[in-house]
Structure 1
Amino acid sequence: MSNLLWKSLVVSPAVLGATLLVSTTAIAAPNTTNEVSPAEQPSVTTLAQQPELLAQTANDANVLDQVNRYSNEGNKNSTQAQVTSVSQFSDVQPTDWAFQALQSLVERYGCIAGYPNGTYRGNRALTRYEFAAGLNACLDRVNELIATATADLVTKQDLATLQRLQEEFSAELATLRGRVDSLEARTAELEANQFSTTTKLVGEAIFAVSDAFGDGTGDANNTVFQNRVRLGLQTSFTGRDVLTTRLAAGNSQAFAIQDTAGNPIPSSEGAQTFQIGSTGDNSVDIDRLTYEVPIGPAQVYLAAAGGRHSHYAAVNNPYFFDKTDGGNGALSAFSSESPIYRIGGGAGVALNIPFGQGGGILRPSSVTVGYLSSEANAPGASQGVFNGDYAALGQLNFSVGDRLALAATYVHGYNGAGSALFDSGLNLTNAGGVPLGVVGTQQANTLANSSSSNSYGLSAAFRPSDKLSVSGFVAYTDVVGSGAGDDFESWTYGAGVALSDFGKRGNVLGVFAGAQPYALNRPGFGGGDVPYQIEGFYKYRVSDNVSITPGVIYLTSPGQNSDNDDAIIGTLRTTFTF
């Protein structure tokens, strides 16, 4: 092979140009990795809609990438500009040993192009396939010269050499043509049947086996197998915005926590994330309809349905919080995020605006403001965007170095009669019509008459190392009701420790403990004890798309009464994401 290439160098400048496609260190070297950054590689059509074809075309995509790199040379429609002078290459100098040959190749035959950044990279290693593709381009150029009455440039010996080169690489060229034809056919099929050019489908399915234990509570509940499925359409019109349309269905129900008399306690203690907003019968609802877009330095959030404060505000609870009650974080709603973000929800608007230049330890900060109404669609009396239930949030976000994040949160809310404070705008009730939140005790949630509330919270997340995270929150709420004895104060706090990559990359071991939202000695309700919750879970990552999470939720003083038996909830959750 080397003798053949040497003869080609001697006989014809055209063939000399072809041989320059090969580096001095890797002539016809098979399976050599190309040292080219992804940004400089010619683009290949993304095949994201039918993964069963991706596995078949993965190798062919690399081949097509190589072929495009050379076949586009000289094409006026190519994204790479036509090279007409060797001086256009920033990495080719007159002192280079191959400068004269390259100059002849580029200026006389025009069958070589560089990279978009103006480099030639003549010392880069090539594979035999790449060399065959480049050689074929130069041979086509020589044939074109012959056909246009420039045959005087090519001798009989040149033609013999060209024929031998074509025969030498005929197998590679035939393989390339077959692979390219196959890949183009598959690409055409995908493009003809693709779902959308602007929208992708994301989904999550949760299977959970759960049971409750403890005197009274254990006897009143049985082992259950529950599910929840979310299908989301994420659409981008500019590449920077995202329209989220999410459908959800589930059959899950929370366990009935019992008091000493065997009666169910109308609270949301122990509620798990996949149980929030569940229809209970697998009927499908529009779970979320939001649009996020940057406008100048601000990030704008618009919610038409299912809006949550935690969609746009930083909750500072890594590894426990997962995309608003997703299936890869903590098991319980309490451990997932501070209950202050559960006050209100629905439709509305929010802004996240950066401010300050930062410097030194203090990083640039931001301010977050938002307004959500759970009755924005209803035109009746005491309803609508501004006269119905609503919650307005303001939050200051600070970063100290690279490992500490802080946030100070204020929420002003209004709720009509017969609602719950920490309800995420879902307006939930139990079978008896008692309003329920998604987290907290009955004493901290029930609003018998219309009430306004002012809530103040602090949250922090600290990462001492890359695999250890410590986070926590505290929140206080002052409620002023329109009826006698409606005023009360509510507290909640908690802290957690998470170990990432515990035992295996992607696994998470987490422990979270704190006090569910409570209101001590509220008139007409009683209950003078703090209801604590301790949760431990271990998320085991089976693959990129499947995880299994066993965990335990331990509740003390349910209903804010230490006389009530403690309750334990055990869950084995399997999450599929796609």
Structure 2
Amino acid sequence: MNNLFRLLVFKTSLSLVLTCLSTPILALEYQQEFSSSHISQLTSVSQLSDVQSTDWSFQALQSLIEKYGCIAGYQNGTYRGNLKMTRYEFAVSLNTCLTKLQELISTTNNSLLTKEDLDVIQKLQTEFASELTTLSSRLSNLENTTSEIEANQFSPTTKLEAEAIMAVASIIGENTSDVEPNSSLNGNIIFSQRVRLNFLTSFTGKDELNVRLESGNIPEFDDSVTGTIMTRLGFDEDTGNDIGLDEVYYSFPIGDSIKTTIAISEMELNDFAEPINPLASSGRGAVSRFGRYNPILRNMSGTGLGINYQLNQKTQLAVAYMANDAAIPTEKNGLFNGNFAALGHLYYRPVDNLGITFTYLHSYYAGVGKSGIDLTGSTGSLIAQSPFGNVATTANSFGLETSWQINQKFVLSGWVGYTKAESPVTNDNADIVNYAVSLAFPDLGSKGNLAGLILGMPPKVTSSSLIADRDTSLHIEGFYRFQVTDNISITPGLFVITNPEHNANNESIVVGTVRTTFRF
């Protein structure tokens, strides 16, 4: 009966080993974090500072260490029993046990191994000869694959991430501009692309230097095309296919709770105050610019400093300072004398499936420089973008965003934004409001797919000492992302702008697109 029991135990254990080794090879970053020098052989369970005699696993560890010498610990005297085991740690532990077993078999006078045990082992070797051969082969293949990855990796410190978007798009409606009022947008179909290469470098394993190269010819469907900036796509980028340096930033931790980011070039406020809307991605989320996240987070981009502080498991605070003409040395420009924004952003998660963010933003535009004045991030009416014209403008913006994952396949999200703008030059003032509600359906139809619906009001000047928007535009959007493979997705989508420029005299404009995204 004992032999039969041992056979069953051995067969179960061997099956577990084969299952573990048949899973995909460990990601390279784990390989870089772990090496056999991190662990050392133990002779007594008392060497482990984090294992107590009252622990439920104490007896098992004591037997494996002191009787068989088969368990290793970390060099700092800990076992870390609650941590997940990497495949490399598993291989080291398994090799130690197998080596000890061979020693016991070769020592005929060893009291720990009886003749009965040897007979059982011989029977097991005979019965599982094919499985043992398979195990040896898989171990060899694992070693060969790991060696190949080491030899052909892009860099031991730098990881390359790339995204390429190819898009077909068209506009149907009438131009709302004063230059060509009510002229037809003839629905010409365009085909264009955007490519991003991100080089992510870590020097300590915890920090990250990100350098992004970008190129594209996806046009901005703005007021020069349709008479309004409400029609912009969420992934547009027109560099004339010239390759340029886009985002550059360096982030590093301070202790366990603080992450500091130095933004060198072209970072946006949403990189510090990350939106919780599941449709926020430019390459995989909403197809419109407005539908991705609250426009007040588009208020400023450029150079600055951000700090993210993890207050506790449910609460995180982000603060940031951003200047978008920091590299210009002339008057009313630079890091502190030109356009700037100061951000405070609080993220709170009362329960696992519900997130809420509160945002405050103080911004200032000098009315000079290459950036101009853009309080809405090119998403609302032209009046809301610069309510007082090209004169110095200050703004205090407040935002509330929430995302509720009702179940695994349904997420309800929304936001509201309010901006109080003033001009210290003319003493004018204006109130700007925007809001949106979105529905997300992850894995609809198949794993990796995503359907989204968005209904909202692009930024609107509700009151002003000069000119206010007189009517209300609605943004209505729907899309469906079909995940073809792990690296390729195709997203047909469209959005409708009713009463463009918050003017009921303007006919609705429809923007349709098919976005194909490649990621690797």
- The TM-score, its normalising length taken from structure 1, stands at 0.69
Match of 2:342 among 392, 404, 407: 392
Which residue of 1 is the match for residue 215 of structure 2?
249
Is the CA contact 1:339–1:422 (under 8 Å) kept in the aligned structure 2?
A: no
Give 3-state SS (helix, strand or coil) of 2:7's partner: coil
Is the CA contact 2:272–2:306 (under 8 Å) kept in the aligned structure 1?
A: yes
Aligned-pair distance for 1:82?
5.5
Aligned-pair distance for 1:536?
1.1
Which residue of 2 is the match for residue 260 of structure 1?
none
Counterpart check, 1:332 vs 2:288 = yes
Which residue of 2 is the match for residue 564 of structure 1?
506
Give the alignment of 1:226-237 within 5 angstroms.
226-237=192-203
Give 3-state SS (helix, strand or coil) of 2:154's partner: coil
Post-superposition CA distance 1:293-345 (Å, at most 9, x none) = 332332322211122111121433x32112xxx31111111111101101111
Is the CA contact 1:456–1:476 (under 8 Å) kept in the aligned structure 2?
A: yes
The AA in structure 2 aligned to 1:229 is V
Aligned-pair distance for 1:219?
3.1
* Residues 221, 415 of structure 1: alpha-carbon distance in 2 compared, 3 angstrom cutoff: farther
Give 3-state SS (helix, strand or coil) of 2:159's partner: strand
* Residues 264, 166 of structure 1: alpha-carbon distance in 2 compared, 3 angstrom cutoff: closer
Post-superposition CA distance 1:92-130 (Å, at most 9, x none) = 699xxxxxxx99x987xx7x62465599xxxxxxxxxx9
The AA in structure 2 aligned to 1:298 is I
Counterpart check, 1:440 vs 2:390 = no
Post-superposition CA distance 1:65-84 (Å, at most 9, x none) = xxx9xxx9xxx997443689
Match of 2:315 among 361, 365, 377: 365
Aligned-pair distance for 1:210?
0.8
Is the CA contact 1:343–1:421 (under 8 Å) kept in the aligned structure 2?
A: no
Which residue of 2 is the match for residue 377 of structure 1?
327
The AA in structure 2 aligned to 1:233 is F
Is the CA contact 1:221–1:256 (under 8 Å) kept in the aligned structure 2?
A: no
Which residue of 2 is the match for residue 349 of structure 1?
305
Aligned-pair distance for 1:461?
2.2
Aligned-pair distance for 1:181?
5.5
Post-superposition CA distance 1:452-471 (Å, at most 9, x none) = 11112222223333332222
- The TM-score, its normalising length taken from structure 2, stands at 0.76
Which residue of 1 is the match for residue 15 of structure 2?
32
Aligned-pair distance for 1:373?
0.6
Post-superposition CA distance 1:143-169 (Å, at most 9, x none) = 6x79xxx99xxxxxxx99999999999
More displaced 10-residue stretch of structure 1: 502-511 or 263-272: 263-272
Post-superposition CA distance 1:265-289 (Å, at most 9, x none) = 55321211211xx234222222211
Give the alignment of 1:164-183 within 5 angstroms.
183=142
Is the CA contact 1:232–1:247 (under 8 Å) kept in the aligned structure 2?
A: yes
Q: Percent identity?
A: 30
**Alignment partners' CA distance in 2, 1:574 and 1:289:** 26
Which residue of 2 is the match for residue 310 of structure 1?
270
Is the CA contact 1:265–1:559 (under 8 Å) kept in the aligned structure 2?
A: no
Aligned-pair distance for 1:522?
6.0
Is the CA contact 1:515–1:530 (under 8 Å) kept in the aligned structure 2?
A: yes
Aligned-pair distance for 1:207?
1.4
Aligned-pair distance for 1:379?
2.1
The AA in structure 1 aligned to 2:286 is A
Is the CA contact 2:222–2:230 (under 8 Å) kept in the aligned structure 1?
A: no
* Residues 268, 180 of structure 1: alpha-carbon distance in 2 compared, 3 angstrom cutoff: same
Which residue of 2 is the match for residue 222 of structure 1?
188
Aligned-pair distance for 1:175?
6.9
Number of residue pairs matched by the alignment = 477
Counterpart check, 1:200 vs 2:200 = no
Note the residue ranges of structure 1 that are not aligned, 5 or more in a row.
7-18, 50-67, 95-101, 120-129, 152-158, 258-262, 358-362, 425-436
Match of 2:70 among 101, 107, 113: 113
**Alignment partners' CA distance in 1, 2:127 and 2:314:** 62
Is the CA contact 2:185–2:226 (under 8 Å) kept in the aligned structure 1?
A: no
Post-superposition CA distance 1:200-225 (Å, at most 9, x none) = 22121111111111245753451011
* Residues 417, 441 of structure 1: alpha-carbon distance in 2 compared, 3 angstrom cutoff: same
Give 3-state SS (helix, strand or coil) of 1:559's partner: helix
Match of 2:360 among 407, 410, 415: 410
Give 3-state SS (helix, strand or coil) of 1:539's partner: strand
Aligned-pair distance for 1:45?
8.4
Is the CA contact 1:28–1:131 (under 8 Å) kept in the aligned structure 2?
A: no
Aligned-pair distance for 1:445?
1.1
**Alignment partners' CA distance in 2, 1:218 and 1:46:** 56
Is the CA contact 1:448–1:486 (under 8 Å) kept in the aligned structure 2?
A: no
Give 3-state SS (helix, strand or coil) of 2:16's partner: coil
More displaced 10-residue stretch of structure 1: 215-224 or 341-350: 215-224
* Residues 562, 167 of structure 1: alpha-carbon distance in 2 compared, 3 angstrom cutoff: closer
* Residues 134, 168 of structure 1: alpha-carbon distance in 2 compared, 3 angstrom cutoff: farther
* Residues 179, 527 of structure 1: alpha-carbon distance in 2 compared, 3 angstrom cutoff: closer
More displaced 10-residue stretch of structure 1: 335-344 or 232-241: 232-241
Note the residue ranges of structure 2 that are not aligned, 5 or more in a row.
30-34, 47-52, 74-78, 82-92, 111-117, 176-182
**Alignment partners' CA distance in 2, 1:535 and 1:161:** 68
* Residues 82, 521 of structure 1: alpha-carbon distance in 2 compared, 3 angstrom cutoff: closer
The AA in structure 1 aligned to 2:447 is R
Which residue of 2 is the match for residue 97 of structure 1?
none
* Residues 84, 529 of structure 1: alpha-carbon distance in 2 compared, 3 angstrom cutoff: closer
The AA in structure 2 aligned to 1:231 is L
The AA in structure 2 aligned to 1:412 is H
Give 3-state SS (helix, strand or coil) of 1:336's partner: coil
Post-superposition CA distance 1:43-84 (Å, at most 9, x none) = x984649xxxxxxxxxxxxxxxxxx9xxx9xxx997443689
Counterpart check, 1:272 vs 2:233 = yes
Counterpart check, 1:291 vs 2:233 = no
**Alignment partners' CA distance in 2, 1:286 and 1:391:** 22
Give 3-state SS (helix, strand or coil) of 1:240's partner: coil
**Alignment partners' CA distance in 1, 2:436 and 2:38:** 61
The AA in structure 2 aligned to 1:319 is P
* Residues 440, 507 of structure 1: alpha-carbon distance in 2 compared, 3 angstrom cutoff: same
Give 3-state SS (helix, strand or coil) of 2:242's partner: coil
Post-superposition CA distance 1:211-249 (Å, at most 9, x none) = 111245753451011211111122233433332222221
**Alignment partners' CA distance in 1, 2:146 and 2:254:** 36
* Residues 202, 402 of structure 1: alpha-carbon distance in 2 compared, 3 angstrom cutoff: same
Post-superposition CA distance 1:389-408 (Å, at most 9, x none) = 11111123333333433222
**Alignment partners' CA distance in 1, 2:204 and 2:262:** 16
More displaced 10-residue stretch of structure 1: 511-520 or 462-471: 462-471
Post-superposition CA distance 1:356-375 (Å, at most 9, x none) = x7xxxxx8434322111111
Which residue of 2 is the match for residue 550 of structure 1?
492
The AA in structure 2 aligned to 1:299 is K
Give 3-state SS (helix, strand or coil) of 2:328's partner: coil
Which residue of 2 is the match for residue 63 of structure 1?
none
Which residue of 2 is the match for residue 431 of structure 1?
none
The AA in structure 1 aligned to 2:292 is S
Give 3-state SS (helix, strand or coil) of 2:406's partner: strand
**Alignment partners' CA distance in 2, 1:474 and 1:165:** 68
Is the CA contact 2:394–2:422 (under 8 Å) kept in the aligned structure 1?
A: yes
Is the CA contact 2:280–2:286 (under 8 Å) kept in the aligned structure 1?
A: yes
Aligned-pair distance for 1:346?
0.9
Is the CA contact 1:485–1:523 (under 8 Å) kept in the aligned structure 2?
A: no
The AA in structure 1 aligned to 2:489 is S
Higher Cα radius of gyration: 1
Give 3-state SS (helix, strand or coil) of 2:456's partner: strand
Q: Which has the higher strand share?
A: 2
